[in-house]
């Protein structure tokens, strides 16, 4: 079974190198709507548009620019971006292992899985099994879509899970959060502990469902019964779109993830 | 300093109420690029284009539809959508407590700091709650409504501060079993040497050691280009994958190197 990868390269520790692909670990399940044109109920799609020429711009005419002065840009090509850190753009090099329990969850950003590419299956399985036995995770850095990620690689249910981590300077200090004064009354403490004790269960995330999603599904079910559906006019398939810009697609998906 | 207050509410379980203020715990700063038109270097804008008319459509002519079958939609009005917004009541309701170690990291989404809301007359109990969570090594599994969305999360103690992790709904996490991985037999010797190697390469978790060097290098490259200097384009390094039948040898060589 071929799972499509977001990124491909190798993961290495010491002298061992394993060819892998990065795949999604999170699949948003929210009810998704399409934006339609209210005149003809045709599907709307997000396209890049040049305000000067008043035209849609195909992917092969799009370049990336850094704004140094208002409306003045330094252009950066994919090749240049990839050569900022050439040693990391195709390699996830585990520089050290850590005890899994030592990782503060505040660092967790976004999870993915790694799957082995052809020929890497055995070494992949070794890393999965050895990290499981030792309760260790690997720390590495790699570069994807012009960003460098600090990542932790875990053994999870027979697979390698990769979680991007925040850099420590992105974590805001919390000293000003805690109350300065105050003693905890022994009575209050024991009352609280007792009430917590009574509520201890096993972690079972499957019990919780998105209430909003349920309501949306109900609303759609009711409307489907009541009203006729609208239909969009047929459109011929567009041609000559060219290959999709993977980097742009990735950035877009990252933005979506962040916006959630 | 942590960020500004995002939201105010109170934690509720049993007969306990703890008023709190929510702050972000993470701030990201990244170099931003714009997408430009190659020909004239004009900054591109995103526009919603109608598939039929092939023209940009202004916001007032956009509507939301749920696709029932290809090309057929149920139209949803904004008022109807508004009705599905969960009612907010400012309560972070704790349903149960779990051992902190049971929370699978793959579920952890965002993290917030909770500050005691001392302006609130009932602004007590925060310290006792933090202490209890810490000493019992548990996290409070809770739900609440914020910014028109229902959330599911875990309350945890860190030092003297309470944190609220939003968690992902279980059906959004892709199970590892769906990846279709095939088991490959490994020898006990390979596993033993592998474990020994990993132990040798283990260090304490010190995230401070890792800086975003790439960001600085990228900034340098931009400045170089701004000065009109040439950029040497380098090919990415690609490693030669370890052959399966040489795995044991490579592990042994790695162990020797690490010693």
Contacts of B148 (CB under 8 A, 6+ apart): A212, B85, B86, B88
Burial A43-71 (b: 16+ CB within 10 A, else e): bbeebbbbeeeeebbebebbbbbbeeeee
**What is the predicted pLDDT for the residue at B2?**
64
Angle at which helix B247-258 crosses helix B188-200, to 10 degrees, equals 30
- d(CA A50, CA A57) in angstroms, rounded, equals 6
pLDDT at position A251: 53
- Residue B202 with chain A: CB contacts under 8 Å: 96-99, 136
DSSP string, A163-202: EEE--GGGBPP-GGGS-SS----HHHHHHHHHHHHTTB--
pLDDT, one tens digit per residue, over B50-101 is 988 888 899 999 999 988 888 888 888 888 888 888 887 899 999 999 999 9
Residue A212, phi then psi, degrees to nearest 5 = -60, -45
CA B233 to CA A77: how far, in whole Å?
10
DSSP state string for B5-53: EEEEEEEEETTEEEEEEEEE-B-------EEEETTT-PBPEEEEEETTT
* A219 contacts B80? CB cut-off 8 A: yes
- CB-based contact (8 Å) between A70 and chain B? no
Nearest CB among A26, A67, A96 relative to B174 is that of A26
Contacting A residues, span 157-186, partner chain B, CB-CB under 8 Å: 157-159, 161, 163, 165-174, 176-179, 182, 184-185
Give the distance from residue B4's alpha carbon to the nearest chain A alpha carbon, in angstroms: 11
Identify the residue among A26, A34, A81, A177 best suited for mutation to test binding to B, counting B beta carbons within 10 A and taking the highest: A177
Judged by CB atoms closer than 8 Å, whether chains meet at A53 and B65 is answered as no
Is the Cβ of A21 closer than 8 Å to some Cβ of chain B?
no
- A245 touches B35 (CB < 8 A): no
The model's pTM: 0.84
Give the number of other CB atoms < 10 A from CB of residue A220.
18
Q: Do A212 and B84 touch (CB under 8 A)?
A: yes
Cβ contact, residue pair B138, A196, below 8 Å: yes
According to the model, what pLDDT value does residue A56 have? 87
Determine the distance in angstroms separating the CA of B132 from the nearest CA of chain A, rounded to an integer. 6
Nearest CA-CA partner of A147 in B28, B25, B45: B28
pLDDT digits (tens, 9 = 90+) for B180-203: 998 899 999 999 999 999 999 999
| B190 vs B248: CA distance, rounded Å | 6
Residue A86: its pLDDT value, please? 78
**Of all residues in chain B, what percent are helix, strand and coil, respectively (each to 5)?**
30, 35, 35
Please state, in angstroms and rounded to a whole number, the distance separating the CA atoms of residues A36 and B50: 8
Is the CA virtual torsion B52, B55, B61, B66 positive or negative? positive
CA-wise closest residue to A196 among B99, B103, B163: B99
For CA atoms A59, A62, A65, A71, the dihedral sign is negative
Taking Cα atoms as reference points, which of B190, B195, B194, B192 lies closest to residue B245?
A: B190
Candidate from B24, B38, B107 with C-beta closest to A172: B24
Written as tens digits, the pLDDT of chain A (260 aa) is 445 688 899 999 999 999 999 999 999 887 888 899 998 999 998 889 888 888 889 989 999 999 988 889 999 888 888 788 877 878 999 999 999 989 888 999 999 999 999 999 999 999 999 999 999 999 998 888 778 899 999 999 999 999 999 999 999 998 877 766 667 788 888 999 999 999 999 999 998 888 888 888 888 888 888 877 888 888 765 544 443 444 454 455 445 444 43
Cα dihedral value B114, B118, B123, B126, nearest 10: 40
Cross-chain residue pair A171–B26, CB shorter than 8 Å: yes
pLDDT < 50 regions, chain B:
none
Strand stretches in A25-158, DSSP E: 34-37, 44-50, 55-56, 62-69, 72-76, 91-99, 108-116, 136-144, 147-156
CB A108 within 8 A of CB A165: yes
Rounded alpha-carbon distances, angstroms, from residue A140 to A97, A153, B192, B201, B210: 9, 8, 23, 13, 9
SS3 content of chain A, % helix, strand, coil (to 5): 30, 35, 35
Mutate to test the interface with A, among B13, B14, B32, B51 (most CBs of A within 10 A): B51
pLDDT of residue B191: 96
Kindly list the strands in the beta sheet with A230-231, ordered across the sheet, starting from the edge strand earlier in the chain: A34-37, B62-69, B72-76, A230-231
Task: Give B-chain residues touching A3 at CB under 8 angstroms.
Answer: 179-180
φ/ψ (deg, to 5) at A54: 60, 40
CB B67 within 8 A of CB B75: no
Q: Cβ–Cβ contacts within 10 Å for residue B101, how many?
A: 12
What is the number of other CB atoms lying within 10 angstroms of the CB of residue B224?
A: 13
Residues contacting residue A67 through CB under 8 Å, at least 6 positions apart = A73, B32, B34
Cα A3 from chain centroid? 16
């Amino acid at each position: 079974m071929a799972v499509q990868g977001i990124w491909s390269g190798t993961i290495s520790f010491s002298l061992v190198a394993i060819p892998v692909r990065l795949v999604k670990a999170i699949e948003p399940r929210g009810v998704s709507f399409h934006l339609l044109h209210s005149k003809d109920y045709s599907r709307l799609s997000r396209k890049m548009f040049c305000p000067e020429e008043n035209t849609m711009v195909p992917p092969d005419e799009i370049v990336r620019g850094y704004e140094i002065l208002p409306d003045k840009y330094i252009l950066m090509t994919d090749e240049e971006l990839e050569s900022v850190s050439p040693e990391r753009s195709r390699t996830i090099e585990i520089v050290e292992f850590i005890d899994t329990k030592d990782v503060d969850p505040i660092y967790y950003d976004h999870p993915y899985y790694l799957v082995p590419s052809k020929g890497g299956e055995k070494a992949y399985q070794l890393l999965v099994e050895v990290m499981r036995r030792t309760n260790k995770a690997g720390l590495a850095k790699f570069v994807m879509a012009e960003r460098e990620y600090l990542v932790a690689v875990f053994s999870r249910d027979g697979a390698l899970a990769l979680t991007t981590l925040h850099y420590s300077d992105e974590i805001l200090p919390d000293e000003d959060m805690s109350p300065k004064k105050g003693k905890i009354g022994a009575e209050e403490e024991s009352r609280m502990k007792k009430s917590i004790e009574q509520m201890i269960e096993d972690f079972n995330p499957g019990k919780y469902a998105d209430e909003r999603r349920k309501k949306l599904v109900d609303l759609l079910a009711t409307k489907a019964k009541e009203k006729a559906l609208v239909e969009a006019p047929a459109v011929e398939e567009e041609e000559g779109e060219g290959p999709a810009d993977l980097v742009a697609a990735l950035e877009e998906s990252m933005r979506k993830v962040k916006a959630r | 300093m942590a960020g500004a207050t995002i939201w105010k509410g109170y934690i509720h379980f049993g007969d306990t109420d703890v008023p709190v203020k929510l702050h972000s715990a993470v701030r990201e700063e990244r170099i931003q690029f714009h997408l430009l038109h190659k020909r004239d270097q004009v900054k591109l804008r995103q526009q919603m284009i109608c598939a039929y008319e092939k023209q940009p459509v202004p916001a007032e002519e956009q509507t939301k539809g749920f696709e029932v079958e290809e090309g057929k939609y149920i139209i949803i009005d904004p008022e109807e959508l508004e009705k599905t917004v969960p009612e907010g009541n400012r309560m972070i309701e704790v349903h149960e407590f779990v051992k902190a170690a049971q929370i699978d990291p793959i579920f952890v989404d965002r993290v917030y700091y909770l500050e005691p809301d001392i302006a609130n007359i009932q602004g007590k109990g925060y310290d006792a709650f933090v202490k209890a969570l810490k000493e019992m090594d548990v996290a409070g599994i809770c739900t609440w409504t914020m910014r028109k969305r229902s959330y599911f999360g875990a309350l945890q103690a860190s030092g003297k501060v309470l944190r609220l992790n939003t968690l992902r709904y279980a059906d959004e996490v892709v199970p590892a079993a769906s990846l279709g991985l095939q088991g490959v037999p490994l020898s006990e010797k390979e596993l033993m040497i592998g474990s020994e190697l990993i132990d040798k390469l283990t260090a304490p978790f010190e995230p401070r050691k890792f800086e975003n060097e790439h960001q600085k290098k990228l900034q340098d490259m931009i400045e170089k280009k701004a000065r009109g200097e040439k950029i040497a384009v380098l090919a990415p390094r690609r490693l030669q994958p370890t052959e399966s039948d040489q795995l044991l040898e490579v592990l042994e060589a790695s162990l020797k190197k690490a010693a």
